Amino acid sequence: MRIRRNQRRRIVDRIMGVLSVLATVVALIPLASILIYVSAKGLSAINWDFFTKLPKPVGEPGGGMANAIVGTMILVGLASAMGIPLGILAGIYLAEFGRGRLAWTVRFICDVMTGIPSIIVGIAVYGTIVVAMKRYSAIAGGVALAIIMLPLVTRTTEEMLKLVPNSLREASLALGAPQWRTVVSVVLRSAAGGIITGVMLAVARIAGETAPLLFTALSSRYWHTGLDQRIASLPVYIYTYATTPYEDLHRLAWGAALVLLALVLVTSMAARVAGRRASGGNRG
């Protein structure tokens, strides 16, 4: 009787093991196929000119997307400069200081913001900044992306800080450290790895956003000339080129998609390394 039960357990264990491996494979199929497909389509468009030249007018062969690559970096940089510090500070407030109604309100607004479709953020920024400045600009684009990023950063920071065991906070307070110092040198450092990962996910998310840029940064065929001017970006180029009937531009769009993927990949890998270093190279 007991032997049979053990045998049954072993069989169930096997089946569950196989099922979870299968589920992982199924989950990886779309990711891998996107990577392979984009690489296959995009590689042919990638050459030196792609990274150094401006786009040519329609009909002329060649040309590159240097301005869009730089533009995407500027837009993501602008958004990060606004969204990351604000988001992390808000997350610290929620996890370490926030009690009562204000914290509840901030948390609620954050959750609502996470659910707002990005195109609506674009329209909102259009209605405020673009209308006020009377032109499309990199700043407006950066603000739109920062708004999308903010709740993601805030909530991951909060969640990561809440994972830090209370015993560490008490150890620090019991040594006579004031609360801000406890948060900075003990709590934040313990959570650094997780926060950086969360921030990178947010950066990756906004790097590919198209809709909010259509209303704010628009696009440009030229080099970036100032933050108050419209600016080119990879997602908008992908969108505009892919919707033209020209084979040549389709090819460039695939190339842009590949570059965008690579950019996101490289930044998140760099952040992983930085995160590991920030948390002291060990995780328990």
Among 175, 184, 269, 270, binds other proteins (CB under 8 A): 175
Q: Do the beta carbons of residue 88 and residue 159 sit within 8 Å?
A: no
Residue 234, both tokens: 């990879």
Site for other proteins contains 242 (CB under 8 A): no
Q: Does residue number 32 form part of the binding site for other proteins (CB under 8 A)?
A: no
168 binds other proteins (CB under 8 A): yes
Instruction: Provide DSSP, 140-179.
Output: HHHHHHHHHHHHHHHHHHHHHHHHS-HHHHHHHHHTT--H
| Interface with other proteins, residue 95, by CB under 8 A | no
Judged by CB under 8 A, which of 185, 225, 243, 244 binds other proteins?
185
User: Of 177, 201, 242, 274, which one interacts with other proteins (CB under 8 A)?
Assistant: 177
**Residue 129 CA, distance from chain mean position:** 23
Task: Pick the closest to residue 86 from 37, 40, 155 (CA basis).
Answer: 155
Among 19, 171, 184, 266, binds other proteins (CB under 8 A): 171
Token output for 260: 């965008």
Q: How far is the CB of 94 from other proteins (least distance, A)?
A: 15
The separation between the first and the last C-alpha atoms of the chain, rounded to the nearest angstrom, is 42
Q: Which is nearer to other proteins, 245 or 281 (CB)?
A: 281
- 72 contacts 86 by C-beta, under 8 angstroms: no
- Minimal distance, residue 166 CB to other proteins, in Å: 9
Q: Is 189 a residue that touches other proteins (CB under 8 A)?
A: yes
Size of the chain in residues: 284
Residues that bind other proteins (CB under 8 A): 99, 165, 167-168, 170-178, 181, 185-186, 189-190, 192, 279-280, 282, 284
